[in-house]
């Protein structure tokens, strides 16, 4: 599990330090700052941020809008323009590259947090609304982001032992023994997972079947934890595990 990584493209180092400090206060990871087009593209390829904070006015001939055009072409991640430019001409240019948010400096910590949260949430939601064959390519990444307080945290499917439902909340139990609670029903959350690895075995539980250690008549053991098997899920579970009771 890792914190959402924010890339920074900003040529004024005093402002860049302010952004870095704000991201630290909000609990985000970060990379950069890149001060021009070339450094920004190198950062995208090397550090692979999850979201980009992008100034429009940069050192060199190419500006932040040029970076955004390249980003849309090669690196499909959300980006936010964080700039002092608010004139009509600049905004018209910016609209053409479809930023996920546009913040005019100076900004507050609350404004930055809200913009990041909404931009990443909308980006993730738009990807989940794509056609099934496109969604399958996304799940092949073997991870997902879930909201945890101020940040979206990266959860690798291989680290996720099982899910435990309690009304409209789902608790994610991880190999590290950490727990992350998200607001969702179990059915809705399972739809976001790699269905070849996760199976519902009880009305309140879904497990990573690759991490099941032992199977008993009425329960399974996952990393030392006993999880009950619901009667209506038993046959499908045994079939998936290749277990014959004959």
pLDDT along the chain (246 residues), means of 10: 80 93 90 95 92 94 94 88 91 93 91 88 61 37 71 83 88 90 81 76 94 94 95 91 81
Predicted pLDDT of residue 207 = 95
The H or E element containing residue 53 is strand 51-54
Domains assigned to the chain: 2-128 (3.40.50.2300), 134-241 (2.40.50.1020)
Predicted pLDDT of residue 1 = 36
Using CA atoms, how far apart are residues 147 and 25, in angstroms rounded to an integer?
17
Using CA atoms, how far apart are residues 158 and 164, in angstroms rounded to an integer?
17
Taking the CB of residue 189, how many other CB atoms lie within 10 A of it?
20
Q: How many residues does the chain have?
A: 246
Q: What angle do CA 27, 28, 33 make, to 5 degrees?
A: 135
- CA distances from residue 198 to 57, 186, 228 in whole angstroms, order as listed: 46, 12, 15
Predicted pLDDT of residue 123 = 80
Predicted pLDDT of residue 147 = 72
């Amino acid at each position: 599990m890792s914190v959402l990584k924010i890339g920074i493209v900003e040529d004024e180092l005093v402002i860049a330090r302010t952004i870095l400090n704000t991201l630290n206060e909000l609990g985000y990871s970060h990379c950069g700052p890149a001060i021009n087009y070339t450094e920004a593209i190198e950062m995208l390829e090397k550090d692979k941020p999850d979201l980009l904070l992008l100034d429009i006015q940069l050192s060199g001939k190419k500006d932040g809008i040029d970076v955004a055009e390249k980003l849309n072409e090669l690196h499909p991640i959300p980006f936010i323009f964080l700039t002092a430019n608010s004139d009509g001409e600049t905004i018209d240019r910016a609209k053409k590259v479809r930023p996920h948010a546009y913040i005019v400096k100076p900004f507050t910590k609350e404004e930055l947090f809200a913009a990041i949260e909404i931009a990443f949430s909308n980006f993730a939601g738009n990807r989940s609304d794509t056609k099934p064959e496109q969604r399958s390519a996304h799940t092949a990444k073997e991870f997902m982001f879930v909201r945890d307080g101020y940040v979206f945290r990266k959860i690798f499917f291989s680290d996720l032992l099982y899910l435990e439902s309690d009304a409209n909340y789902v608790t994610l139990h991880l190999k590290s023994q950490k727990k992350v609670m998200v607001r969702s029903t179990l059915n809705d959350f399972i739809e976001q997972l790699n269905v070849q690895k996760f199976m519902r075995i009880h009305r309140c539980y879904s497990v990573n079947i690759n991490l099941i250690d032992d199977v008993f008549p009425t329960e399974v053991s996952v990393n030392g934890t006993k999880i009950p098997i619901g009667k209506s899920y038993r046959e499908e579970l045994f079939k998936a595990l290749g277990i014959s009771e004959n």
